[in-house]
Chains A and B, each alone.
Chain A
Amino acid sequence: MRLILSALAGALFGAGLFVSGMTDTTKVQGWLDVFGNWDPTLAFVMGGAIVPMFIAWRLMRRQAAPLSGGSFPAPPAPQIDHRLVIGSVIFGMGWGLAGLCPGPALASLSYGGIGGLVFFAAMLVGMLAAPWVGVQLDRAAAAT
């Protein structure tokens, strides 16, 4: 049951990224490029995704447990720390540079060519390096 629902969610996510054009890096960069030829597509994708998700969070409150058992995620932690802010800035820089984030990098893996594979490999290395970078950041934050 859990695996079938995971596959269904992944298929919807992959299909959505594919048909929305979000695996086209020029569309993502075009949205971020407010000083250039601005492309609003990403805003429609975000808006289109947030509406069903907003309803889902509401439905969750009326549901005792997930369909396949277990429990719902805990309420989000309120604290805004240096890891969240600096991590988001680092992520945003990479996102702007290539026009790819983790979801579209996965969805385009089959047709993104060698460039897409190299980006994906570098992203995995970055994910492995993240805990070490986090410790350095924590040290720097504690020292200030």
Chain B
Amino acid sequence: MMEQDWIWGLVGGGLIGLGGAVFLLGNGRVMGASGLLGGLVDGSGRSNWAERAVFILAVVLTPVILMPLYDMTIDTKLTDNWAVIVAAGLLVGIGSRLANGCTSGHGVCGISRLSMRGIVATVFYILAGGLTIALFRHVWGVI
């Protein structure tokens, strides 16, 4: 890790938290990416679909606007193993909707609210993620 990585991490984290604060104090809503997106996909968020769509569009488009300001190449460095990509996408979609939240909803908004559900969810997905990396990278050498 370069020294500036944690500074940008802190700055970026602050922006994420600020976004959550605007969503809560402005619209009275918990900012969770999986819930906002999932409600659009399965129709459960039909009553406030415009808010969800505008939020999601802003998340997708803001990096496009910021990219020219960056002098380094931006790359997600995602694996090129298609089976892993599809399996991971399915698991993330199923799991985040079953648990009713992901890193933003349970992690950022739940923990800061001292919500027991948010804390429990975060502990379990971090443990599962760590164990998955340990097994698939260090034991089986797949990723």
| Nearest CB on B from A66, distance (A) | 3
| Nearest CB on B from A115, distance (A) | 4
| B39 and chain A: residue at smallest CB distance | A127
Quick check: A53 and B20 within 8 Å, CB to CB? yes
Q: Complex: how many Å from CA A100 to CA B89?
A: 8
CB-defined interface of A15-49 with B at 8 Å, one 1/0 digit per residue? 11111111111110110111110011111111111
A55 interfacial by beta-carbon distance below 8 Å: yes
Quick check: B34 and A102 within 8 Å, CB to CB? yes
Quick check: A101 and B102 within 8 Å, CB to CB? yes
Please count how many residues in chain A sit with their CB below 8 Å of the partner chain's CB atoms. Answer: 117
CB-defined interface of B118-143 with A at 8 Å, one 1/0 digit per residue? 10111011111111111011100001
Residues in B with CB closer than 8 Å to A85 are: 99, 120-121, 124
Quick check: A49 and B16 within 8 Å, CB to CB? yes
Residues in A with CB closer than 8 Å to B61 are: 14, 110
9 examples of A-B residue contacts, CB within 8 angstroms? A7-B54, A10-B59, A17-B63, A35-B133, A53-B21, A53-B24, A93-B129, A96-B128, A101-B92
